[in-house]
Amino acid sequence: MGKTERVTVNLLFDTLKELGNSNDRSLAIVGAALVESSLTYLIESYLIDDKSKVDIFINNDFSSKIQLAYCLGLISKDEYNDFNCIRKIRNLFAHKLSVSDLNDDDVKSESQNFIIARKMNYENDNLREMLLVTYVLFSFQLIWRDRKIKRCEVLEDDGYEKIKNSVENFALKSGEVLNYIATFYRKIS
């Protein structure tokens, strides 16, 4: 899989301008790619700075990235839902050749599952407008989070000698307590 392109504000505007004049299939596929790319960089910005270990997550499919971002607390439950709606609509256009426009029953049905996008009012339930605004909203939100996210750091070894000594001290004290309890029970039996 090729390296995902980082979405900048300029690239976002250029892509959205292109999407405004595109056919429905391009809107669904390219718009989803825009959101996926922004999500990829958010995850990458959060994970430790070790490309060889992080690539397994970054090179995964959209569904896995959505799930990972949610499990890491990088996106909300409603965003998790809506990103999956975007992914499913994209998949309908990408994998089902009979789906050629937003009037397709499967696309309309899936679009009913949006949560955040449905909270906004669209004239005549305009799905094209809803998708465009959703791509903008989510891409900006992810770019913003990417700029302020704090990268995880690799934990340092805690000094196993200290831990070993603590465990040994605990075992000694626990042994004393267990001997005391055993002696107590012998006396009362």
Structure confidence at residue 24 (pLDDT): 95
Structure confidence at residue 3 (pLDDT): 58
Single-letter amino acid, residue 136: V
Q: Is the pLDDT of residue 82 over 90?
A: yes
CATH assignment of the domain containing 100: 1.20.120.330
Asked, for residue 2, whether it belongs to a domain, the answer is no
Range among 18-22, 38-42, 79-83, 120-124 with highest mean pLDDT value: 79-83
Give the model confidence (pLDDT) of 124-149 as tens digits: 578 898 999 899 899 989 989 988 88
Alpha-carbon dihedral sign for residues 56, 60, 65, 71: negative
CB contact at 8 A, 85 and 111 = yes
Structure confidence at residue 2 (pLDDT): 45
Structure confidence at residue 189 (pLDDT): 67
Print the domain residue range for 176.
156-189
For residues 118 and 49, state if they share a domain: yes
Structure confidence at residue 122 (pLDDT): 67
Question: 67 versus 7: which is more confidently predicted?
Answer: 67
For residues 142 and 160, state if they share a domain: no
Rounded to whole angstroms, the Cα distance separating 128 from 161 reads 62
Mean pLDDT, rounded, of the chain: 86
Asked, for residue 178, whether it belongs to a domain, the answer is yes
pLDDT grade for 32, boundaries at 50, 70 and 90: very high
For residues 134 and 166, state if they share a domain: no
Asked, for residue 103, whether it belongs to a domain, the answer is yes
Structure confidence at residue 99 (pLDDT): 93
Asked, for residue 63, whether it belongs to a domain, the answer is yes
Q: Is the pLDDT of residue 87 over 90?
A: yes
pLDDT grade for 30, boundaries at 50, 70 and 90: very high
For residues 133 and 186, state if they share a domain: no
The average pLDDT across 14-32 equals 90
Count up the domains in the chain and report the number: 2
For residues 138 and 182, state if they share a domain: no
Structure confidence at residue 1 (pLDDT): 37
Q: Which H, E and C letters describe the chain, residue by residue?
A: CCCCCCCCHHHHHHHHHHHHCCCHHHHHHHHHHHHHHHHHHHHHHHCCCCHHHHHHHHCCCHHHHHHHHHHCCCCCHHHHHHHHHHHHHHHHHHHCCCCCCCCCHHHHHHHCCCCHHHHCCCHHHCHHHHHHHHHHHHHHHHHHHHHHCCCCCCCCCCCHHHHHHHHHHHHHHHHHHHHHHHHHHHHHC
For residues 54 and 27, state if they share a domain: yes
For residues 43 and 134, state if they share a domain: yes
Q: Is the pLDDT of residue 107 over 90?
A: yes
24-46 helix and 9-20 helix, angle to the nearest 10 degrees: 160
